[in-house]
Amino acid sequence: MDSIRNIGIFAHVDAGKTTLTEQLLLKAGAIREAGRVDKGTAHTDTLPAERRRGISIRSGTVCVRRRGTDIRIIDTPGHVDFSYEVETALLAVDGAILVVSAVEGVQAQTSVISRVLTSLNIPIIVFLNKTDLAGADVQRALGELRSIVPRPVLMEQPEDGLLDALTACDDLLLEQALHRNVTRDEIAAAAARACRSLFASPVYAGAALKGAGIDELLDAVIECLPPPHDEGELSVVAYHVRREGDERKVRLRVFGGALTTGAAPVDGFGKIRRLRIQMPDGEKNVDALKAGEIGVAVGIEGYRAGMWLGKRARGNSEMTAPVLRAQVAPQDDGDVPALLAALDRMHDEMGNLHPAFEPRTRRVHIRTMGEIHQQVLEQALLEDYGVAATLMPPEALYRETPAGVGQGSFDMMMDPWKARASFRVEPGPRGSGVRFASEAHVDTLHIKYQKDIEKSVYAALQEGLTGWPAADIIVTLTGGQGSWLSWGGASSHFGPVVPLGLFAALKDAGAQLLEPVYRFEARIDEGAASVLLYELGMIRAVCEPIAFNDGGATITGLVPVETSQRFAIRVNELSRGHGMWRTRFEGYFPAPPGIGRPIPRTTPDPTNPALYIDFITGRTSKIAASQFDNIV
């Protein structure tokens, strides 16, 4: 596998990432003419929306051959609204090219991506782009890079400076330099060792549009970024799903073992009808995909981007979870079934929409990343599925946590669920999600049943007392009783007993809404700082002390997502286009009284046991005008 490199190209939007990919293809001889983003001819931007807007929306995979090495390149979107494509691509690569504009320097998405790359121990090469443009400042960009990547080392500098930078992170080079003059090849080898060991990040400067610096970058990919490592057992991750006609194509990376045509992969995703491998001259049909290879599988249903088969070879690549939701309103109410079918299909490809139908209001909601994301989805619904719909202005995606400690239980003596479950719920640490514990003795309740109860708890908490998902909660099973037959078997998840007992405890504790909060950084002229501070107060921001420097002011702090969705426009207005507004998701915090509201449930309400049991047992139709009418 030494002759393979699997890399990703990552950047903030408009840093020149796709233009760089085109030049890599051209210099390696894979294409005769480089495409242009502004002309809609880029080889990795194939969607009509990408060509209209001049931005990448989905990731694209290409392959080039250089010096006998196959370099598979995943070109990812730079706009924050399409971060999910970046997150899944991060799971499939062994090395990264981080593209930074020498004019704008390190930007918001650059920082987020570099943080995840570092956490996943993925070696980084930096390409400083647009060095030919007015305003380019390589040294300023290098200074900003020092705070986000391991020891950035500019490779195009006098040998003495390069030697000093690399001896600080490579002991072998230091030992060589103490005894004799080192060669340029030894310096290059030290840069490769430092990069693969995560001690340094080689930096190359150039201008992608003009092809400057591309040859050096291609050579650095081979020398500095590592080849694949065989995990020794089945380990496969999907990073991209796309439907073309009746075919569902799953793009995946094999870390260990092999996938073969006709074989059923683990986890029950169905048989693989066809496999294709990414090669420099395009995709080719193969009988098997082996460790280190990137390809396409056709025939695996339900296997979505971010899912693993077998061993998980990478940690969490999440950059930012969707913190907004929007109503999707069809122009014709009769199009609701078609809209839901289209959104389910789109979620299968994109993975982060999570469409939900509210039976009582007949409203459809999805999770959204922002304005551009919504515009693209509207166009896709109309052009790809023939459904005319409007995405309404988004609202914050709240969570709920217990307001205190609550106890609850439910005894059920109805066939086939002759059983009992008791719970205690309490608030958990911020950011801890849902935690489950059990105090039930295995002599009273078999360990298998306790594990099935745990699964049922997680499912039930997707909608809490307020209709929002529960978070930062500790659920303890305090007792239970029942046999295999009385629980209804493994597939029943213990019928209604678990949610009814759990929600009795939640009701006893009460609910505290949690709102999503950004950490922000704003830069503006010193004269406008007081106005900006006032307006930040109006949107409930909590500001830290202002830092003044060189006639400017930097304000940092926390601000609710709900109130700050379009605040970047206001900062731009106050600064006459010279300010900066940067945010990153900080977490969920308790919402002040009067902030946030409950939302309608999409599933039956366990706080009403009679209605809930009637729904579970199929007697819902006997209840006139119940909350379950019109469920689809």
Query: Can you give the pLDDT at residue 345?
Result: 93
Phi (first) and psi of residue 424, to 5 degrees: -125, 135
Cα 473 to Cα 206: distance, rounded to the nearest angstrom: 50
Statement to judge: residues 424 and 388 lie in one domain: no
End-to-end CA distance of the chain: 50
Task: Choose the final residue of a domain: 189, 224, 259.
Answer: 224
> Could you please report the per-residue DSSP string of 141-196?
HHHHHTTTSS-EEESSS-HHHHHHHHHTT-HHHHHHHHHSPPPHHHHHHHHHHHHH
Cα 112 to Cα 318: distance, rounded to the nearest angstrom: 10
Statement to judge: residues 20 and 85 lie in one domain: yes
Is the CA virtual torsion 464, 465, 467, 468 positive or negative? negative
Dihedral, 459, 465, 467, 471 alpha carbons, nearest 10: -60
Instruction: Kindly tell me if the per-residue pLDDT of 537 is higher than 50.
Output: yes
Query: Can you give the pLDDT at residue 378?
Result: 94
| Number of independent structural domains in the chain | 5
Residue 70 lies inside a defined structural domain of this protein: yes
Statement to judge: residues 27 and 119 lie in one domain: yes
Query: Can you give the pLDDT at residue 199?
Result: 95
Query: Can you give the pLDDT at residue 609?
Result: 87
Query: Can you give the pLDDT at residue 623?
Result: 36
Q: Are 63 and 4 in contact (CB under 8 A)?
A: no
β-partners of residue 420 are: 411, 481
Task: Choose the final residue of a domain: 310, 345, 367.
Answer: 310
Three-state DSSP class for 345?
helix
**pTM (2 d.p.):** 0.85
User: What CATH number corresponds to the domain at position 303?
Assistant: 2.40.30.10
Statement to judge: residues 280 and 347 lie in one domain: no
Residue 631 lies inside a defined structural domain of this protein: no
Cα 156 to Cα 102: distance, rounded to the nearest angstrom: 15
State percent of the chain over pLDDT 90. Answer: 63
* Weakest-pLDDT range from 30-34, 211-215, 420-424: 30-34
Residue 317 lies inside a defined structural domain of this protein: no
User: What CATH number corresponds to the domain at position 344?
Assistant: 3.30.70.870
User: What CATH number corresponds to the domain at position 527?
Assistant: 3.30.70.240
Statement to judge: residues 60 and 120 lie in one domain: yes
pLDDT tens digits, one per residue of 367-419: 999 889 999 999 999 999 999 999 999 999 999 999 999 999 998 766 666 77
Residue 595 lies inside a defined structural domain of this protein: no
Residue 106 lies inside a defined structural domain of this protein: yes
Output 516 or 301, whichever has higher pLDDT.
516
Residue 316 lies inside a defined structural domain of this protein: no
Statement to judge: residues 193 and 72 lie in one domain: yes
pLDDT band for position 488 (cuts 50, 70, 90): very low
Query: Can you give the pLDDT at residue 495?
Result: 66
pLDDT band for position 446 (cuts 50, 70, 90): confident
Statement to judge: residues 436 and 385 lie in one domain: no
Instruction: Kindly tell me if the per-residue pLDDT of 482 is higher than 70.
Output: no
Query: Can you give the pLDDT at residue 619?
Result: 54
Statement to judge: residues 428 and 306 lie in one domain: no
User: What CATH number corresponds to the domain at position 145?
Assistant: 3.40.50.300
Q: Residue 533 CA to chain centroid, in angstroms?
A: 32
* Weakest-pLDDT range from 327-341, 446-460, 483-497: 483-497
Residue 230 lies inside a defined structural domain of this protein: no
Statement to judge: residues 392 and 331 lie in one domain: yes
Q: Are 419 and 455 in contact (CB under 8 A)?
A: no
pLDDT average, residue stretch 333-349: 93
* Weakest-pLDDT range from 174-183, 216-225, 282-291: 174-183
Statement to judge: residues 189 and 142 lie in one domain: yes
Query: Can you give the pLDDT at residue 620?
Result: 46
Question: Cis bond leading into 48, ω under 30°?
Answer: no
Statement to judge: residues 529 and 612 lie in one domain: no
Residue 490 lies inside a defined structural domain of this protein: yes
Statement to judge: residues 489 and 608 lie in one domain: yes
Task: Choose the final residue of a domain: 340, 375, 397.
Answer: 397
Q: Whole domain around residue 340: which residue ranges? A: 324-397
User: What CATH number corresponds to the domain at position 418?
Assistant: 3.30.230.10
